[in-house]
Amino acid sequence: MANGVWHTGYEITVHLSQPDLGHPELPHLLTEITAPVEERDRQLLECLEHHDDGVCQAEGEGRTPWMAIRRRTVDGITTLIAAHLPLRTTATAEESDKHKAMKERIARTAREHGLEAELEVRTGDGRIRTDVLVAGPAGKVGWEAQYSPIAAETVRRRSQRAVEHGITPLWVTSDGSSSLIDRTPWVLVDDQPWHVIASRKSILVRAGARYLQEWKCDEHQQRPCPGVGGSRSCGRFHVHWDLPALCIPPKPTPQLDQLILTSATGTWVPMRIPDPRDARLTARMWVPAQDRARWRDIIGPADSHAEEESQESDDTLTFTGADLDTRCRYGEKTHVFDDTKRHRATSAPAALHTWDEVPERLFRIPRRQQSLHLDDRQRHQAARRLQCPPWHIGPCAGCGTAINRYGPRSYHACSTCRNKLAALTTGR
């Protein structure tokens, strides 16, 4: 891609591969060109090929010749890149109507459930504005209704600022290709007219909400092995996150109105999970609080949301010193900022982890050595008490006491251990 842009204010070429951007006499140039687009002239930076020839590859593809400067990290090396701004930055009348209807629905639902809700809230320092701020027992949730295109960098910056002010961001969109997906806590809903959004008709969360699935991969499982595929089983232990309809058995699909309540009460919580195959890739989702607790039992605690949000901006920049390339590379299949991924809201399982054996720390009844030391007299006494043949006597899998372990009416554990397990399972 082109590693430079034309600065329309100074009428100079900015060389992004040079430490001084090619202009040592302008020490504040880096700060100026990396400022958020909404805080500067949108036509400050121009594609070099468009400047030289009057046309570039991005035009006609829903983009403008105007540019923004982003950071790109590949193999741990962070450099500056130029990205074409979208052709349209303001919402259409239809998008504006949907945006207003969604804000009003979120606020109405929250208030009807006894929660505090305010529209168009600004923080004391004026740095952020939240569409709807919902306050509940679990804290503040900042809902953002996004029906128009938005840059990923804008999403990251606004989400990070929300977290810095003690607000959990929650973005809702109807566009499965939106750049906000997996870059902030988010949910996807159906694209419906404004009057349906404003009504009391149910709105389902189609993506962005998942349940934890864990299983031993053997011949008794209904789901295919994620490793070998098909009907074969690997005998290993798997965990991942699935959409409600794809769970076994299927789980109820959350409704938007339910999430407005449960996100504020802490029943549903946000998750950020690095891809186990590539830690630079992350999945974001809303999950039941008990599923998050179980995940952390299995995997361990995750990094805080705030730490993750600030990590990208803290990377040290590298200036390669490469020669200036004035050609527009928009749309080429390279590691560029221009996001050509058409559908980001995938139905594939997220964050698959696999073990050869079920981790022992996950056993609700601790594993004990399966042995019972009884002489003949003790074994016959136990058999009379339990009303079973002496050869059916064996150790409880939990406490090791003598039980009817191997007969037709046997159990793997004594009644005391089974009751403890039932209490753990039901939460009593």
What's the pLDDT tens digit per position in 322-376? 888 877 777 664 434 444 445 677 888 888 888 887 666 565 555 555 678 889 9
Rounded Cα–Cα distance for residues 169 and 159 (Å): 6
Which residue from 271, 275, 250, 289 is spatially nearest to 353, judged by alpha carbons? 275
On the question of pLDDT at 74 being above 80, the answer is no
Segments making up each domain of the chain, as ranges: 93-310+342-355, 363-426
Residue appearing with tokens 């606020």:
107
**Single-letter amino acid code for the residue at 248:** I
Count how many residues are written for the chain. Answer: 428
On the question of pLDDT at 109 being above 90, the answer is yes
The CB density around residue 167, as the number of other CB atoms within 10 Å, is 22
How big is the chain by its Cα radius of gyration, in Å? 28
Question: Residue 168 in 3-state DSSP?
Answer: strand
Span 43-54, average pLDDT: 86
| Cα torsion through 113, 257, 186, 129, rounded to 10 | -50
Rounded Cα–Cα distance for residues 295 and 240 (Å): 9
Using one digit for the tens of pLDDT, what is the confidence trace for 292-315? 998 888 887 654 443 344 344 445
The pLDDT value given to residue 280: 63
User: How are the residues of the chain apportioned to helix, strand and coil, as percentages rounded to the nearest 5?
Assistant: 25, 25, 45
Asked if residue 122 lies in contact with residue 133, where contact means CB atoms within 8 angstroms, the answer is no
pLDDT over 90 percentage in the chain:
40
Asked if residue 61 lies in contact with residue 85, where contact means CB atoms within 8 angstroms, the answer is no
The pLDDT value given to residue 311: 42
Render the burial of 184-221: b for 16+ CB within 10 Å, e for the rest.
Answer: bbbbbbeebebeebbeeeebebbbbbbbbbebebeeee
**Cross-strand partners of 133:** 118, 142
Structure tokens at 59: 């035009």
Rounded Cα–Cα distance for residues 124 and 143 (Å): 18
